[in-house]
Structure 1
Amino acid sequence: MAIPVSATFARRIMNLWPPLLFSSIRIEKLAKDYSYCRVSLKERPWNRNVNKSHYGGSLFSMTDPFYALLLMGKLGRGYRVWDKSADIEFVKPGKGKLTAEFILTTEMVSKVLEATENGAKYLPKFVVEVKDAKGDVVCRLTRELYIRRVFAKHKQAA
């Protein structure tokens, strides 16, 4: 399912989506062509763990839908894009404002188009790093997506 709205509208709506809003996750930038997204996570009392650093679930959530969002925006109608799996590697405790950047290159999109042109599923992996204000890596996530081209079903005459 493609995103039939502008990137600006998608960013504004997603910033009001309760799972992001109530976790203090914000889309700061979403490129008009869906090639780039920057997301931030502000530290709040409700998203800290017992060690007074960012809760791991919030770190996981701040990376959840964004590669799928970028691909849906890039591929347009006719493709099914879902998150399939994810893995998180915690590097150091996250404190303060954290950011993650998602980049979708022309080469990445070309690989998807080539791999799915006949309707085959494609399971690419994307790595994203969450960084603190100093630029230090707090955690690294590997997200695997499920992508498949969906062909229209034609009704047969009776």
Structure 2
Amino acid sequence: MNPAEQWDLDPVAMREQLNAWPTFAAQRIVVEEIAADWSRVVVSMRVGSDNANYFGTAFGGSMFAMVDPFVVVLAAKQLGPSYAVWDQAAEIDFLRPGTGTVTAVVGMPAEVVGSLADEARGGTKVLRWFEVPVLGEDGAPVAVQRRRLYVRERR
């Protein structure tokens, strides 16, 4: 897909493309839901022998990958093509072993996006951290991913 086509994708089409994407499919990462207003994504990963680490629990790189595109995508889709939106930094803290199915809910509320747009107006560079927990089947966090978003209005 060329970059111009990304703006034409609706949440259903993007979900289908991501679920067919070899990077996600090979790691058993499934996009369960993308909100119609681009404010939320639910993504899960069933831990098995093909995405487990040496100890048989969720491979950290796979937990990182399951959240990787979504903070940027949700912000970019709400802001539109007149804003540059990038990951500027990312980190993950592993809290306990992930087994079974792990899930992340990535939220990007409209009021947060509005604040980013206001701050970035006129080409000002905005850096903001977002935190996304990765939850085990019991609802307790197994990891917490932090992503620093770069936003700037294009000139």
Q: When the two structures are superposed, what TM-score results if normalisation uses the length of structure 1? A: 0.91
Quick check: 1:88–1:141 contact (8 Å CA) kept in 2? yes
Query: Counterparts in 2 of 1:42-121, with a 5 A limit?
Result: 42-121=46-125
**Structure showing greater Rg:** 1
1:15 to 2:19 alignment: yes
Q: State the secondary structure of the residue aligned to 1:48.
A: coil
* C-alpha distance in 2 between matches for 1:115 and 1:145: 13
One-letter identity of the residue aligned with 2:32: E
Q: CA deviation at 1:4?
A: 2.2
Three-state SS of the structure 2 residue aligned to 1:110 is helix
Deviation string, structure 1 residues 33-78 (Cα, Å, up to 9, x no partner): 1011000011121110111100110011111010111011111121
Residues 93-151 of structure 1: CA deviation (Å, up to 9, x unaligned): 00010000011112211111111111111111100000011101100111011111112
Q: Percent identity?
A: 33
CA contact (8 A) 1:39 1:100 kept: yes
Match of 2:145 in 1: 141
Work out the CA distance in 1 between the residues paired with 2:78 and 2:22.
25
Equivalent residue number for residue 37 of structure 1? 41
Q: Which consecutive aligned stretches of 4+ in structure 1 deviate over 3 angstroms post-superposition?
A: none
Distance (Å, rounded) in 2 between the aligned partners of 1:50 and 1:67 = 29
Structure with the bigger percentage of helix: 2
SS of equivalent residue, structure 1 residue 118? helix
Give the Cα–Cα distance (whole angstroms) in 2 for the partners of residues 145 and 28 of structure 1. 23
- The aligned residue for residue 155 of structure 1 is none
Gaps of 5+ in 2: none
> In structure 2, the residue corresponding to 1:44 is in which secondary structure?
coil
Given candidates 5, 16, 29, the residue that maps to 2:9 is: 5
- Structure 2 counterpart SS, 1:46: coil
Say how many residue pairs are matched.
Answer: 151
RMSD: 1.2
Instruction: Give structure 1 stretches of 5+ with no counterpart.
Output: 152-158
Q: Is the 8 A contact 1:25 1:41 kept in 2?
A: yes
